[in-house]
Structures are given as C-alpha cells and as structure tokens.
Chains A and B, each alone.
Chain A
Amino acid sequence: MTDARLIQRLEPTGLRLAPSQVWGGMRLVPVLRDVVRGDLRMTLRTYDDVAAVVSVKGGLKEPGLKYVSYVPHGLVMTWAGRQAEAVYGAQLQPSDGKRLKAGPFSIRLMHRMVHREDRRQLRMLPLHLAMEGFLSLQFSGPEIAWSEYSREGLSRGLDPRSESSVPGWALPMLDGALRTFEIHPQQVGLLLFKADVLLSAFVVAHPEDYRALHRTLVEDFYGGLLLQYGFLGDVPALGLTLDASRVASLGDLRGEVNRMRQDWADFHGFMAGGLFGANVTSTGVYKAGGFLLQRFHTSLDPTEENHIGEAIVGTDGTLEYLKTYRLSSAQTRRAYLLSQLAESDWHLETAAERLRTTPQDLAVRLRNAGFGYLLKDSVLEAAQRKHRR
C-alpha cells in the first residue's frame, strides 16, 4: 500500500507566486505561503570541511557504500513544537559525525544522508539527498549475467558512479541577485531562473527560516545550465500593462492591479511548468511525525526538462519543503540509458530494439555516456570497429 503523502504530481499546494525580481540574467520568483503552521522548522548547520564522506550503508569507519562530495552546510529540521532552551555559552549543536584532519584540510565523516539526532530532530544534507537518490538509480547493475558485461560490472554494478555540478558561487551574478533581492514578509521560497530557464526551486515551511537560509542558496549546487547561458545577456524585466478601457473608477483600478498580480503568478506558474504539474516518481526516505520526507525525479525523458529533488509533505498534503536540481541533458541521457537497460532486464539486444538502434550502437552510446566499464573490452572494441565503418 502506498502512502497518500507520496507525490505523484508535484502541485504547489498552499503556495502562491509573486512577481519576479530581475538581476542581470537571473530571475528570482518569490514563493509565498499564506497559512503558516509553524510546527516544522529548519535551521542551518554549516560545515567548513573540504569534503564530506557520508556512509550510506555500513558504519562510519567501516567499509561500505559511501557518498563523497563537498557539503558546505546541512539543514536541521525539528517538528511538532520542539523547543530548545539554552544557557549562554552552551553548545547548541551536537558534534555531527567525525572530523579527520588531513594536513591543512579537514574531512568530515557523516552517518547517513538523513540522521535522526533527537526525538524530534533530523539532520539532512539538502540536495545531496536527491543527488544520492539519482546516483543510485539502477545502481546494482545487471541482474542476469549476460555475456556482454564485464566481470567488474557484474559483481559491483555501477560502483563507482559520479556526476558533476556547478556551485552557486561560480556565477557572481547569482550572488548579486540574492543580495539585491527583496524578501517578502510571507515568503517561504524561491524559484531560480537563469536566462528564463528554471534551474532550481527552494521552499521551506516558515518565513523566518527562509529569511535565514536565503543567502545560503549561493553555496548550493546547480545544473550545468547555470553557466551554459552565461553570456546570453540580461533577461527582460517584463512589464504587463493595464487595460485603460476597463477603468471607470478607483475601485476598477484596484481590481486591474490585482488582476495584474494574478497574471504575474499565472505566468510564472507557466514558466515553471516543467516542474510544477509534472508527473514525478518519488520514494519515501523518512517519516517524521506527520511529515514524510521523500525524494523524487521527473520522467527522465531526454526530450523534456528534468528535475530531481526532495520534498516534505504534511498530513494534509501541503508541500512543506522542496528543493530541486535541474539535470543537464547529459545527465538526463545517462539516466535514460540506464532505465531503458533496466526495463529490458539489461539485455543489450532488447534494449537496442526499444531504442530503435543496434546493439553495437548502444554499446558505443554506453561508452560515450561514461558506462564503458560495464561492458567487456572485446564487446566494446567490436562495437567501435563496426561503428567506425
């Protein structure tokens, strides 16, 4: 039986969009929440280590599956009115994982992407949770030992699997955009567009939390599109007009301004159509009281825009937390190839038929996508010989 809180279609329930603010090529769209429940709060926890090694399976210092990345900060969520009382000078944050010194640098070992620290407190690594889910898609590799696969591929699956992304501070424009952004009083989130392409969505439960987390967006990681349209120039500020013919009194004028607001919201909703209203595949990660933390990805169809992300949905179906990452087209293609292979039980010929191509071409495509290590050298060489001809 599936949980009703698992997202099938991403709907911005309980949220509305306000007109965008533009800075250079960035367009930031505020997300507002009118009804704030106040029983789910997020705080920031910063890590100043060059890298973090998260044990996804197994203990902290034991061999097992690890997720390695640069993690500048994590989020600590508390729910159901947990109150922290502190004395001046008290250490409020418990030590998180273990820090190893490596010369002038330090590396942090952490236990799991999501770690319960107290009865009603959870530490999570934002976006890394979604990225870890994306990396582990079809991670176990071929289930049937078809003769084309290499010994390594059969025994270890896709391990090690890696993807690259761009940190927010790679684009100084993003910092300027966040600095000059005027945060609304009821604002709980932000949609981030670069050259009018949706890059990321970030929503939390409480306006004060958002205000505290606003500037950390520059530390998060984004898809390659952040840099791809770097020289495209400024996005237009867009000005809607009022229809003078419908105005006969001040009341009409007020109505027209309200209609203008609604038009803005609708238009931004349309601009974010690749994410909101899209069908997603989600898996639950953690049940925290009435809240369900889950991660999801969109269809992974290379012809559409694709996002991965994580979300928290309350018992009444409101979206309490959302953070998404836009996959680049290469990342989408990799995921697509793997899902096609998995659906045809990793049988190269069946998969090639599904993709309307030959097994040799599929082998070359796999190698180009960075999965050459799954196949035997002889298979790859034969495929390449054929491909060259």
Chain B
Amino acid sequence: MAALAEARVEQVAREDLVMFVNACFSCTGQREFYGDARGQSVSIEFLHQYILGNYRRLYARTLAAGINHFNQAQILLNLLASGSPVEARDKAEEGALIAAALRALPPQRAFRVLESLRSRRINNRRARAVARDYVKGRGNLAFDAVKYRAKLRAAVSHGHLKLEGELGPFLFHGWKKRVFTQPLLESFRRAHYAQEALYELPYTVAEGLAVKHGIPRDVFLQRIEPRLTAAERLRLQESSARERGTPPPVELGRASLTKLALYVLALPLESRRARQPELQAALEQAAARVLRKSPSRLGRVAAILDNSYSSSGSWEKRRRPLGVALATHYLLSSAAREYRAWWTGPVEDALLVSARGQTDIATPLLDALAWGADLVVIVSDGYDNDPPNAVAELTRVFRAKLDPRRRTALVHVNPVFDSEGYAPRSFGTAVPTVGVRDAEDVPTVLGFARFAEGAASLSELEAYLAARVEALLARDAQGRQGEAGASRDVAPAEEGES
C-alpha cells in the first residue's frame, strides 16, 4: 500500500514538473489567438507559485532547462522573493544558478529583473548581492548607464550599490551638472544641445533626442546607421525603406532563425517571391548556425506544419505560431537525413506560406505515416477542428493497432500556451506535447519529449535537469574567464531581445 502511494506521489511530481517546464517553454503572458493576456498571466503565475511551494530545488533547476526569457525572469524574481533555502548545498547551487541565469539573459531583460525587484519590493541580502555582482560583472557599465539609464538607476538605488567614477553623479545628480570625461557620458550630455553628438549614442537613446531636435526621420536613420544593432537593423528594414528609400544593410543569414522567419512572413507575397533565393539562403544559413550550436542528427523526418488561420497569433504575437512552424521547417530540413513537410493548407513554396483556412491535421498526418517516417514532428497550436479530436483518435488507434512497438516516434511541438489547461494544448495521450517559444529550442525540446510522454521516471527527469544545470554553470564559468581575459572596453554588444 505504501509503495503504491509512493509511486503515485512520484507520478504526480513528474507530471507537475513536466507541465511546468512545458509551460515555461511556451508561455510569455501575452495574448494568444484563443486566450487573452489576463488569463495567460494568471495561469502562469499560479503555476510558478505552485511549483515554487512544492518543489523548490527543481524549480530553481528549471532555470537551466532552456526555458524562455520571460519565465527565467519570473523564476529569478520568485526565488529572490522567497528567501534562500536552509540546506547549505541547495543554497550554494541556487545562488550559482541565479547568478549564471541572470548573466545569460540579454541585458535589457536582466536589468528589467533588477528593476522589478524594486517594484515587487524585494530587498533582502541575497537580492542585493545578486544585483551587486551582476552590475560589477558588466563589461561596459557606462554604455549600460546610457542605454538602460532608468533601469540601472533603479537597481543601484534599490540595492544600495556603490558605483565608481562618474557613473554615480551621472545617474543621480543629473547629466546637466557637469562635464564628463567618459566619452559616452559626455556625448549623452552634449547630445541634448548639439545634434552632431547624437549620432554617437545607441539608436534607442538617440531616437528620442532626434525628435527633440526636430531632425527629419530620413536624415536621422541615415546617419545613425553605423550604430544600429543587428536586431534593430532587421526591425527597421521595412519602415526605413518607406522613410528614406533604402533599408539599412543587414546580413540576413546572421539573424536568429525565428526572427528571420517572422521577418519573412511580414513581407508581402510579391517581395517574398521576388527575393526568394536570398531569403531561402538566409533561412538555411540561420538554421545551419543553430545546428552548429546544438547539433542533432535525425533520420527520416516528416513535419506536419500548421498554417491554419489560428497560427496568425495575436496582436501581441503576430504570426508567431506560423513563424515557429516556418523556422522549424528549415531547421528540420537541415538536421534530417531525409525530410518532407506537409502544411495543413497546401502551399507551393514554404516561403509563400500564410495563415489561412481550417486546421486539418489528420490528412497530412496520414500522408506522413504512409511515407514511412521515423520521426513525425507536428508543429501546431493543438486546436484541430476538421474534424475535431481526429488527431488524438488517429494516433491512439495507430499506436494500438498499427505500431505497438513504437517504430515511429511522434512529437507535438506547440508554440501556444493554453491558460485553461495550464499547459500547451495536446493531441491526446498518444503524442507527447512540448512547448516552444523559438524554433532554436526545438532540438532541446525534442530531447525533453520523452519526459512529456511519461516514459521516463522522475529520477531520470531530475538527472536530466541536474546535467543541464552543470552545463549552464560550466558555460557561465567559461564565459567569465573569457571575459576577464578580453579587454574591458568592448564595442556595443549585439543584443538579442526575444
């Protein structure tokens, strides 16, 4: 009887954790096609509190599981808000995880976490130490002081940090008070009076000052061009082309895969058709770069990609489900030995895909099974309506009657979090469902799929997380060593923001 209860406890713990990690892969608290932002944020908030209260150690370790930035930030804040664990070993591990995860976040998100410490009134010794270490570890703090001025000021004042040199006066006494010797700070001061100085500042800071000086947008865009980061270049392609005729030059192949896919989907069909070879090469290049970072070799792979109307996402996440599907298409096509894709609404070329029509996953799934794939990856939001529930039934019968030995692996990758179910919506029990935010994470979540299926035990899941924690900490230590060796005065970092 006791053994039975134990097994049940273990099963519950495993299911809870899998649900949580899955939610952390996909949810960002933003509005989705079917769910509103309020429901999303309430749902994910609840999950965080539930897991933090019941499985604290695993909650902290989830930081290393490859989850999205929004949920990493939430975990960091929740851990810092709830004091440190009692056991010394846990304490050390959690501290190291928090520091490493914070450093691995893009700077604007990391500073946002520090700023949120103030708004959530979290001010304990550990939180102050974390803020201090992070700020101390930044390579070019003067640059941060200009670009993330309000956030850095909030972190410094809330954590009682001491800043060296001119930064303290710059942040707190106001830039009007004096002349600075640090060139960037001085540029920022001068840019309030002289237009020329403005072009030495980061784009986001210069943009507001340009409006203040009344500089025409086309002149501004032309002259600020050398200061643009890669993400800003990609973002400004269309609007800049409208304003001044030429877009800022960008190396499309170096952009992140999902962002590139979203950019392609935002283009009108004619220009997609006209620039077809260029865009295709860029997407393939980006996919190859992802695979270099996390290599995965796959056999005969079939992809079922959902381009129904619901993949158009929401006002806040425009075409994201479709973008993830498109990016996954390129990723799998370069990772697999043999590859074929089926879209729910047939398209002549993957680049020309658009979100239209009903969700009929059963027909392409049958085609894919008939083709004889080793691995079938379904990228969909989980709402199949032609006919409803067909995929769940089809896969159930397929597993029971046609493939009881599991020769064909089925995985459902879902970019949409369903707030009612506290998890990405699934296609029944025969297909494991994993959440995803960026297609770059697909190799990671494919590794996670065996836990979603329920085949692996809790101890295996714990071992998996522990291994990822070690990898994260090793990466972090390596990065810090490299940073200490390199010169401190680095050029403005290329910052991703996802």
Tell me whether B366 and A254 are in contact (CB under 8 A).
yes
Beyond the given A184-B358, A185-B357, could you list 12 further A-B residue pairs with CB under 8 A, ordered by the A residue number?
A21-B388, A182-B308, A182-B359, A185-B345, A237-B388, A240-B393, A247-B402, A248-B401, A253-B402, A257-B363, A260-B390, A264-B387
CA distance A253 to B433 in the complex (A): 22
In the complex, what residues of A have CB within 8 A of residue B394's CB? 242, 253, 257
Q: Within the complex, what minimum Cβ distance (angstroms) separates A31 from chain B? A: 13
- Report if A84 contacts B (CB, 8 A): no
Closest to A30 in B: B358
Tell me whether A250 and B366 are in contact (CB under 8 A).
yes
Tell me whether B357 and A250 are in contact (CB under 8 A).
no
- Report if B409 contacts A (CB, 8 A): no
- Report if A303 contacts B (CB, 8 A): no
CA distance A20 to B389 in the complex (A): 12
In chain B, positions 306-320 with a C-beta closer than 8 Å to chain A are 308-310
| A18 partner, pick from B358, B366, B369, beta carbons under 8 A | B358
In chain B, positions 355-407 with a C-beta closer than 8 Å to chain A are 356-359, 362-363, 366, 369-370, 385-390, 392-394, 396-398, 400-402
In the complex, what residues of B have CB within 8 A of residue A248's CB? 401
In the complex, what residues of A have CB within 8 A of residue B401's CB? 244, 247-248
- Report if B33 contacts A (CB, 8 A): yes
Jot down 8 A-B pairs with beta carbons below 8 A, ordered by A.
A21-B385, A21-B388, A184-B358, A244-B401, A247-B401, A253-B398, A257-B362, A261-B386
Tell me whether B357 and A242 are in contact (CB under 8 A).
no
Residues of A within 8 A of B (CB): 18-21, 30, 180-185, 237-242, 244, 247-250, 253-254, 256-257, 260-261, 264
In the complex, what residues of B have CB within 8 A of residue A238's CB? 388
In the complex, what residues of B have CB within 8 A of residue A180's CB? 33-34, 310
Q: Within the complex, what minimum Cβ distance (angstroms) separates A260 from chain B? A: 5
Q: Within the complex, what minimum Cβ distance (angstroms) separates B50 from chain A? A: 25
Secondary structure at chain B's binding surface: helix, strand, loop or mixed?
helix
CA distance A183 to B355 in the complex (A): 11
CA distance A184 to B356 in the complex (A): 8
CA distance A182 to B386 in the complex (A): 10
Tell me whether A19 and B388 are in contact (CB under 8 A).
yes
Closest to B366 in A: A254
Q: Within the complex, what minimum Cβ distance (angstroms) separates A51 from chain B? A: 34
Tell me whether B34 and A253 are in contact (CB under 8 A).
no
| B397 partner, pick from A30, A239, A242, beta carbons under 8 A | A242
Tell me whether A182 and B387 are in contact (CB under 8 A).
no
In the complex, what residues of B have CB within 8 A of residue A250's CB? 366, 369-370, 402
| B388 partner, pick from A239, A253, A256, A257, beta carbons under 8 A | A239
Closest to B362 in A: A257
CA distance A21 to B34 in the complex (A): 12
CA distance A329 to B308 in the complex (A): 39
In the complex, the 6 A-B pairs of residues with the closest C-beta atoms, listed nearest first = A239-B389, A19-B387, A182-B309, A242-B393, A182-B358, A244-B397
Tell me whether A182 and B310 are in contact (CB under 8 A).
yes
CA distance A21 to B383 in the complex (A): 10
CA distance A247 to B402 in the complex (A): 8
CA distance A238 to B359 in the complex (A): 16
In the complex, what residues of A have CB within 8 A of residue B359's CB? 182
CA distance A244 to B392 in the complex (A): 13
Tell me whether B388 and A247 are in contact (CB under 8 A).
no
In the complex, what residues of B have CB within 8 A of residue A260's CB? 387, 390, 393
Closest to A244 in B: B397
Closest to B310 in A: A182
Closest to A254 in B: B366
| B386 partner, pick from A18, A240, A247, A249, beta carbons under 8 A | A18
Closest to A248 in B: B401
Tell me whether B385 and A249 are in contact (CB under 8 A).
no
CA distance A182 to B362 in the complex (A): 16
Closest to A261 in B: B387
CA distance A248 to B359 in the complex (A): 26
In the complex, what residues of A have CB within 8 A of residue B385's CB? 19-21, 182
Tell me whether A257 and B390 are in contact (CB under 8 A).
yes
CA distance A19 to B360 in the complex (A): 11
Tell me whether A19 and B386 are in contact (CB under 8 A).
yes
CA distance A257 to B389 in the complex (A): 11
B334-362: contact bitstring with A at CB < 8 Å (1 yes, 0 no)? 00000000000100000000001111001
Tell me whether B345 and A257 are in contact (CB under 8 A).
no
- Contacts known (A18-B386, A239-B389); A257 close to B357, Cβ less than 8 A: no
Tell me whether B388 and A241 are in contact (CB under 8 A).
no
Query: Considering residues A239, A253, A261, which has the most beta carbons from chain B within 10 angstroms of its beta carbon?
Result: A253
CA distance A240 to B398 in the complex (A): 16
CA distance A240 to B389 in the complex (A): 7
| B393 partner, pick from A184, A185, A237, A241, beta carbons under 8 A | A241
Q: Within the complex, what minimum Cβ distance (angstroms) separates A218 from chain B? A: 17
In the complex, what residues of A have CB within 8 A of residue B386's CB? 18-19, 184, 261
Query: Considering residues B309, B356, B358, B402, which has the most beta carbons from chain A within 10 angstroms of its beta carbon?
Result: B358
